[in-house]
Every structure is written in structure tokens, then in C-alpha cells.
Chain A
């Protein structure tokens, strides 16, 4: 007799997704393209922090705004006093009070604790006067207003600061306090913040995933498998938390901000200022530098007077003939690289001197968004139509197959062009149209998968067990068809980006407020300004190649039979 052996530990059996992940891991093309795409999306998502004219951090005293408030306050309070004495209605007084409060606020923002008493007291007296007038107590109101007038005189005399650059006069003891602000973040709205948080988690996924698997789940593969869904949920929900306290989005990142000009003129005296790596705004124009070649090139050198030193542009004949405006000196603002530094405009500028690199970083938002969102549309439409046709068959299948055929007989670019040309291009129209016109591939694929799957034993069994049809479709059949849909979707993102750029080239694309790579590249048709055509085109090419590589790899991983 043999010794009874101890029952073996239940072996972990790999499920479908384990196998797929194993396959994906084995293909360097997949994870390299995934990593590069993640980086590309990062530049688009973090665009406000990477390229813009708003400082990321600004510790500064703003003598100009303080001085304005401080000088104007006594006059306004005097007017207020006059109104109180003449017995003006309470609403009128409240209006005046708002103007005073705003100026006091501006002053308090920059005053040290020792100097705050007078303006605070002033505002309190003004409030008192308004309240008294509201009660109908004219005497009390007049007393308070008189006290406020006295305080306003003190503000004017005692709290003055020297003008920028000038020495302090005797008696001027006020020193403005530095305030630290984060202007770039003020221009981030809630949606942007959510994606910034989400992307932090996505990019850090290899790290925290390993930590969670090792420490929390103790490497137990069964538990890891069960935790998959929870992890995805946390990934999506966790970035929602900061939104609860976020008030940003006060400024629009699309408009040019005054910070750089203020810093240059000395009106904002900064102890510490950190500008984004590309210190140019999306819409920031620079008249002296229109169509400037990439600044690392020899022919981009500009003299003090704003004239090109070398190359074809140095020849002034073209200027005289009126093809170009006369040269103007280049304004180099605070925080920008010097006039002829190679990193000033590494990719050149456009017709009004906007930095191409900054615009490309922002433009990625539109291009990547169009590709992704339109693919989402087409995957959903295609899956629903294909599932209905394939599962029910019969008349429904016949009808839906006709519809698919109709859409297929339109040359795809044609239908898109017609809709965009006649209904008008906007970002939303283009995304919807790119989804609505290209779902037939997915639909045919899903239909085929359903036709194949519905005769298999597990579907028959589920029907025999009395499972509802909807549940059969969504829980049992659809998951088996998702792999091919994933593959075709990956390729669709690539072709969506291509089509969007083609639309822009043909003049039917979006250009405002944020340009896409396609519309950037069509800003100049002249071969003389080659950088405008080359660099955005390279980005399109890179993105499309990465998506095609990814799609190829995923197709390989999902279906080893297709491997040739």
C-alpha cells in the first residue's frame, strides 16, 4: 500500500485575462508603445503646467496694485462720508461700501500684521455707518462715517509705500509682505484636475500595483484576481477626492496673462518665480518673432534691432516689396530665454510669433481627445448593432446588415467631409461624426463573433437554464467578443487622429480655441516656413505609429493563431 499523500495545494489556474496579460508582457513593442503613449497623454493632460505664461509659483510683492488701492481709498471714503451726511439711502451706501471693501482687501493681502489695524478698523467703521443708516439712526451713522474719514486720512499718510525703483521717503515705514501664489494652477478647472490626478495614478500604476499586491494581498493570486475590479474602481474614483476642495478654474488658460509683463516692468517684484518649462502661452503673440525658424538654427539669429542676421530673411528686399512687415525688436520678457538662445523657440514660431512647441503641447489635447472619444462612440455603437444583429439573427439581422452595408458604401472620408462641411466643424461635431461613420467595422466583427458563439454549448446551456436573454448577451457572449473589439478600437484611434488631421488640412477642422496638430500644421502652406509643417506632422505620425504598434501587439496577444 502506498502512503496517502497530503492533498496538493490547489494550483492557481490562469484565467483569460491572465493569459492575455502574460502575452502582452512578452511583447516589448506593446509595453514600449504603451509607455510612450502614456507620456504623450501626460504632456496633453499636464499642458497648463508644461507650457504657459502663468508662473507655477510666484512669491512677490505687487507694489502697483497696493499703491493704487492705498492712494484711492481716502477719496472714496470722503465721498462715502458726504453721502452719509446728506442722508443717502442704504443701498447707495452699500454700493460705496463694496468699493471700499475691495480696496481694503487688496491692501490687507500684502500688509504685515503690524500694519493691518488701521484699514481693518476703517472697514469696520464703514460697516457700522451702513448698518446705522439702515436702521435710520442718522446720528450714529454720521459719527461712524466721521471716524472712517479720519482713519482714511491715516491710511493715506501712514501706509504709503515707495514707488517701484524709488527710495523710501522719511516716515514711510510700511514694508509689503510677499505673497506666494500659484497662478498656473488657478487656470486649472475641475475636469482638468480630475484627469491630472487620474493620470498620476495611471502612470504610477506599476508602483502602487506592486505594493498593493505584495503588502495588502500578500501575493495571493486568487485574491489579486478578485481585487482587479476594486483596483479599477479606486483608480477612477480616487482622483475625484481633491475636487471637493478645489475652487480653481477662475482664470482661462486660453487668454494671455499679465504676469510676465508685470515682472518685466518691475511692477511685480518677485523674490521667487517659477515659470513652466516652456514659458510661452498658447495665445501669446510676439510681433518681433513672426515665422521665426527654430532658434537652434543659424538662420534664426536676430539682431538687436529685430533683423535677421543670416540666411534668406536677412535680405531686406522682401520687406521692401511689401511681403513682410518691417522688422521690430524682439521683446524678451522676464522668465523667457534670451533672444538668441537655442531653447527660446526650439520648434520655431507661427505667423504672429506664437511658440510652436507650446501650441503643440496644447494641441495634443485636441488630437488625442478626438481619436479617443470618437473611438469610444464607434465601439459602443458598433458593439450594440453587431450584438443585436448577431444574437437575434433573422429579420433584425437582415435589416441591420443592410444598414451596415449602406454605411460601408460611403467612402468614409466622404461622408465625414459632407457632414462637417454642411453642418459646420466644432470639436463635438467632429468627434460624433467620426464615431457615427466608422462603426461598421466593429459591428461586422461583433456580429460575426456572436453568430459563431451563439451556437456554442455554453450559450445553449445558459438559455436552457432559463437565463434571461439580456443577461446571456451581456454576461456570457459579449465578454468573449471584447478582445477583437479592443484591437479594432486601437486601430480606430490611430485612423481617427489621421482623419481629424486630414479634415484640418482640407479646411474643415477645428481651430479655436485650442488648435489640433492637424490645424497647426496647416497654418502655413509655404515651404519657406517648413517647421510649421514638419513638427506637428511628426507628432501625428508618432502617435499613429504608436497606436498601430499597440494594436498589432494586442491583436497578436489576443489571438496567437493570427501570428504569422
Chain B
């Protein structure tokens, strides 16, 4: 097992190089160089004054040197890889005194509860739904659930968020807050009122983040249950006179959970990319919004950091799901 994990981890290295090279290629293909992005506004503003213009020029020169912009691309890439290996993602372009890694740490604390809550909820709803529609296959309830999930699956995530805002926000029922994570004056609260405020703010984002995974999970659950329930040992159990509820919930459930337990590993990449849309819709300052802001401002260090991080998370997620297979299903072994 340990050798398997080690081998897989080693295989990740060339893939990671490939990803970062691809990323570097895309960023280099982009028109305009980072210096003009960083100082474009300043140059436009102070283009006339000669004294200020000189200031900006020296600042640009310093900036170019700091980020090795005048060196060939492989030097830039090498410097970046060396820094990244030490978890040094540099500072933001637009706020030069903010370390990207610190900001990442702050942001992940926002996204983590969001992603965890959404994942937990989608499992809690998906498993019973899947069991129900598998046990009563081709019944009216099964057809209804299947149709409902199908519809959910075809809805654009951001649109669902917008519709929720329409319905529950100020102009609709005025039930829930729709923007951000806290009220304006939440800093004066503490204890329960503070938590309550945050929970209320989380309702709509979590609902939006939940529904997509819900559709996928409960389809998997239904398939898993259907596959299991046809096996011989289930027939044996029934023949012995075990009550149907026991057969389903005790005998079949365990084995049918295998496919959807492994999907659990998907939560890692969701931490960044999956929540991007939801965080953008509801203005929640998490990882996704951070990546989005970086893209909007063309802030190279942020883009590089968030993308690399999410690629690593995706790879770890795939590895984790392979390992979970072996954990939940003793028949599979990687030795």
C-alpha cells in the first residue's frame, strides 16, 4: 500500500510540471505583459508629468527585475517553480504588501465550512433518495425523483443562485440575506447571534452548492443499490425471511455505498473551482472568489497560485478516491 501511494505521488510530479507549463504557456500567449497590467493605470494617469513618469519607470524596472520579466520564459518558470516548492507564491500585484499564501489561508477558512456543509447535506439527501428510487424502481415515486434530479442537473448553477436571490431576497419574500457572509454590523455581535447571522447568510449558498452534487450523487446511489439488490446474497437473505427493510438497510446498503463513498474525494477540488460560481453569485470572500478576482484583475501571482493549488487538490482527490476504494472494498488491493 505504501509503495503504491508513493508511486502515485511520484507520478504526480510530471503531471504537475505539465500543468504548470501549460499554465505558463497560456499566460505568456496573452497579449500585454504583467508590467503593463500592473502599471497600466498609473502610466495612463501620470503619462504627462515627467517627474512622476520617471518614478513610474523606475518602479517598472524594479518590478520587471523582481518577477524576472526580462529573462527568457524558462528562467521565469524555474524561479517560479523554486519559489512555489517553498510555498512562496509571492505578493499580489495590486496589493504589494499582501502575501498570496496568507490570503489563501484566510480564504480557505471561509470556503471550507461552505464546501463541507454542502457535501454533508448532499450526502444526507442523496442517499435516502437513491435508496428510495432504487427500491421502488419504476414506481411513480422513482419516476418523479428521477425527473426532478434530471431537471436539477440541467439548471445553470449561477442561475439557480440568481433565482434564489429573487425569491428569498429583498424584492421577493425578504426572508434571507443574500450577499456576503455577515451583516454590516455583525462585528458587534458575539456568540449565538453572530453564529445565527452567519448561518442565515450561508443558507442560500449552501443550497446552491448542494443541488448540483445532489443530482449526481443520488443517481450513483440508485445505480449502486440496483446493482447490489440483484446479487445472490440478497436473495439468500430474503429467502431466509429477513424483513425487507432489514435487507435493504443492513445487507444491501453497505455494499451499495461503495461507489458514492469514493466520490467523496471530489470535495477537494470543489474547495476552489466548484465554489467559484456560488461565491461569485453571493459575494462570499472565499477561495473561489479570490481566484475570480485574480482573473478579473489579471493578477498573475493569484492566478498561478489558485490554479496550481486546485490542480494539486484534483490530483490528490483522484488518488484519495482510489485509496478509498481499497478501504471500503477489501476485495480491491493495490499491493
Chain A residues close to B by CB (< 8 Å): 402-403, 405-406, 408-411, 413-415, 417-419, 421-424, 494, 498, 501-502, 505-508, 521, 527-528, 530, 533-534, 537, 540-541, 544-545, 548-549, 552, 564
Contacts and interface: CB of A to CB of B under 8 A. Distances in A.
Nearest to B171: A527
Contacts of A534: 163, 166
B170 interface: yes
Given A406-B18, A533-B166, A548 B273 contact: no
A409 B156 contact: no
A417 B171 contact: no
Given A402-B15, A545-B150, A413 B276 contact: yes
Contacts of B269: 411
Interface of B: 14-15, 18-19, 22-23, 26-27, 29-31, 137, 150-151, 153-159, 162-163, 165-166, 169-172, 222-223, 226, 269, 272-274, 276-277, 280, 291-292, 295-296, 298, 303, 307, 310-311, 314-315, 318
Nearest to A413: B273
Q: Name which of B22, B222, B298 has the most chain A CB atoms within 10 A of its CB.
A: B22
A421 B26 CA distance: 10
Given A409-B315, A414-B310, A422 B30 contact: yes
A541 B159 contact: yes
A409 B158 contact: no
Contacts of A505: 156, 158-159, 277, 280
B151 A502 contact: no
A548 B165 CA distance: 26
Nearest to A498: B156
Is chain B's interface secondary structure helix, strand, loop, or mixed overall? helix
A502 B18 contact: no
A422 B298 contact: yes
A410 B170 CA distance: 38
Minimum-distance CB pairs A-B, first 5: A411-B273, A422-B30, A406-B18, A527-B171, A545-B154
Contacts of A423: 26, 29-31
A261 B11 CA distance: 69
Contacts of A411: 269, 272-274, 310-311, 314
Contacts of B315: 409
A421 B27 contact: no
Given A418-B295, A527-B166, A533-B166, 13 more contacts: A409-B311, A409-B318, A413-B277, A417-B276, A418-B23, A419-B26, A498-B156, A501-B156, A502-B156, A506-B280, A544-B155, A545-B151, A548-B150
B166 A548 contact: no
29 contacts: A402-B15, A402-B18, A406-B15, A406-B19, A406-B22, A409-B314, A411-B272, A411-B311, A413-B277, A417-B292, A417-B295, A418-B23, A418-B27, A419-B26, A502-B156, A502-B157, A505-B277, A527-B172, A530-B166, A530-B171, A533-B163, A537-B162, A541-B156, A545-B150, A548-B150, A548-B153, A548-B154, A549-B150, A552-B150
